[in-house]
Structure 1
Amino acid sequence: MLTLAAILVHGNPPGVNASTDRLVSFYDGDRVRILISSVILGFAVLNLLWFAAAIGSTLRDAGQGIWARRRSPQAGHWALSSS
C-alpha cells in the first residue's frame, strides 16, 4: 500500500526522450512531491523488512525456519552425501 501511495504521489516523470527543459522543470518544480514520495517509499521498505522479520520469527518459533532445517540430521546427511 505504501509503495502504491509513493507511486501516486510521485506522478509521471518525463519520458526518456524529454527535453532538458522539461526534465529540469519536473524535478525542480515538483521537488516536494518527489521528496515526500521518497520518504513514503522508505517507509515501505522498512515495512517490508519488518514483515520479513516477523515471518522469519514465526517460522523459527514453529520449528520451520531455515536454521531449524539446517540443524536437522537429514539436512546434515544430505550436505555430506552431495559433496
Structure 2
Amino acid sequence: LVIYALYDKLVSGTAIPMWASIIITASFFGAINALGIGILGEYVVRIYDQVRRRPMYVVARRVNCDPAEDEQAADADQRQNETATL
C-alpha cells in the first residue's frame, strides 16, 4: 500500500487519498505494537525457563555426613538431571 501511494504520488502526480495515509499510519503503529509484544514475550519465556530449571531447595551446608555419601548422591543427581533433559 505504501508503494502504491508513493507510485501514485510520484509518477502520476495525483494526490494521495486520505484513507491510504490513515491505513499506512495504523499499520506502522500496529507493527511497532506487535514488535513490543514479541520482545516482551521473549523476556517472559526466558524468565519462565530459568525458574523452571531451579531446584526445589538449596542445601547451604551438610553437617556430620560422610564425604563418600555426598559423592554418590551428587552422581545420582547428575544422572537423573541428564536423563530428565533428554
Query: What TM-score does the superposition give when structure 1 sets the normalisation length?
Result: 0.45
Query: What TM-score does the superposition give when structure 2 sets the normalisation length?
Result: 0.44
